[in-house]
Amino acid sequence: MKKKIYIAGSGGMLGEAFYTQFKEEYDIKCTDKDVNEDWLSFLDFRDKDAYEKDVKDFAPDYLFHLGAYTDLEYCEEHSDDTYATNTLAVENAVSLANELNIPLLYISTAGIFDGKQDLYDDWDQPNPLGVYARSKYMGERFVVENANRYLVCRAGWMMGSGPKKDKKFVQKLMKQIKDGKKELFIVNDKDGTPTYTQDFAKTVKELIKKEYWGLYNCVCGGQTGRLEVATELVNILGLNNEIKITSVNSDHFKEEYYAERPASERLLTKKLDLRGINQMKDWKIALNEYIDGYYQGYLD
């Protein structure tokens, strides 16, 4: 008998990776309030009673709670909605997992740090700056302090699932290039670590198999900033001679991206490395794989 996993909030870029990586070996049920795939069914996990009923009816061996609001500006403007989604729903998931006596997976973020250090390992103390970061950190803390068995995996700058679902940095750049932009303005004062969704899901699978419960930084290898990622992307596309990259500081985008962001969100995967099960590739290799796998013909 295959073990069963209930995956809540799986309509986004991470959900696509979890579906891809887990569907063969496990019996999975994927839900989201945005049913945008034929393998998704409807559930708004903020509805505690509906969430509870749907999970109990499926009777899973694991509960994966993926969904969250991740748009920092939206979160600043809609703090009540953000806390209801990113924090309170997580508290509901914890009590549900405990009641069923099954492990819970929660996705946290590098954004919970204040950026005053250059690098953060799994044991560094978070100090969230804005509503988004606070809502995610409070979800993380609740899981760590209250769940019987849990995995908390912290992602960095997410990339995955291609133009359909990726709303992050790589897709924003790809869209500009597709639209014919010959100059990209890239911030030079924001550091972090890309995180390929497929490798992230593979790493979670290893942790589940080994039952290495706990909290893990889960990002690609290599440390970098926005500028390096943009430069490498243009390089991979072979457009070095056609596209100019202009370095600017964050003030250049302060109208559009006004929510406070840490100067450094660089994570070290210390615990994964010590456990010897890190499936996260170097970010340049992962970026190449991502573009190759999801963007064939996109710029034609």
What is the CATH number for 129? 3.40.50.720
Percentage of residues in the chain with pLDDT exceeding 70? Answer: 100
- Which residues does 132 contact at the CB level (< 8 Å), separation at least 6? 69, 70, 71, 72, 75, 76, 82, 86, 111, 259
Structure pTM? 0.96
- Picking from 67, 64, 63, the residue whose alpha carbon sits closest to that of residue 100 is 63
Query: Between 169-178 and 283-294, two packed helices, what is the crossing angle to 10 degrees?
Result: 50
Are the C-beta atoms of 281 and 189 separated by less than 8 Å? no
Q: How many domains does the chain contain in total?
A: 1
Asked whether residue 103 is assigned to any structural domain, the reply reads yes
- Which residues does 179 contact at the CB level (< 8 Å), separation at least 6? none
Q: What is the pLDDT of residues 233-274, one digit of tens each?
A: 999 999 999 999 999 999 989 888 899 999 999 999 999 999
Q: What is the pLDDT, as a whole number, of residue 39?
A: 97
Asked whether residue 111 is assigned to any structural domain, the reply reads yes
Strand order in the sheet with 104-109: 40-42, 27-32, 4-8, 62-65, 104-109, 150-155, 214-217
- Picking from 142, 150, 146, 178, the residue whose alpha carbon sits closest to that of residue 162 is 178
Asked whether residue 19 is assigned to any structural domain, the reply reads yes
Asked whether residue 146 is assigned to any structural domain, the reply reads yes
Q: What is the pLDDT of residues 195-240, one digit of tens each?
A: 999 999 999 999 999 999 999 999 999 989 999 999 999 999 999 9
Asked whether residue 18 is assigned to any structural domain, the reply reads yes
Residues of the chain with confidence (pLDDT) below 70: none
Write out the H or E segment, with its range, that includes residue 107: strand 104-109
Asked whether residue 171 is assigned to any structural domain, the reply reads no
Q: What is the pLDDT, as a whole number, of residue 256?
A: 87
Residue 136 belongs to domain spanning: 4-162+194-223+265-283
∠ CA 192-196-200, nearest 5°, is 105
